[in-house]
Amino acid sequence: MGDQKFSKLAEIQMTEKQAHDELVKIGIPELDAGLITDCLNVGKFCSWLNTDTVTPEAVAGANALIASKNLAAEVKVTRARFDKLIWEVARRK
């Protein structure tokens, strides 16, 4: 996956695969788990739009996982038009 030289996940002794698998276990769809993992790994704001369904509990679980690892980020999912969802990974305030 990503270059470990710039890896925020490596700083907390977590691989990208581990982060991805944890997010999927929580209920985040595969594609979105991969995107969230990439955003966390590089420590950048990311957003995307898709139709993957996700429960509020899964998003809360993802945020709890991120907080437990002391990563200064959070996942937000907002419903948009035409059954689309806007996903964002941003710095936690």
The residue count of the chain comes to 93
φ/ψ of residue 48, rounded to 5: -155, 165
- For every one of its 93 residues, what pLDDT tens digit does the chain have, with 9 covering 90 and above? 444 455 788 888 889 999 999 999 999 999 999 999 999 999 889 999 999 999 999 999 999 999 999 998 999 999 999 999 999 999 887
pLDDT score recorded for residue 10: 86
Cα distance between residue 78 and residue 9, in whole Å: 26
Contact status, residue 49 vs residue 87, Cβ threshold 8 Å: yes
Contact status, residue 63 vs residue 75, Cβ threshold 8 Å: yes
Cα distance between residue 54 and residue 16, in whole Å: 21
Cα distance between residue 75 and residue 45, in whole Å: 10
Burial of 50 (0-12, 13-18, 19+ CB in 10 A): middle
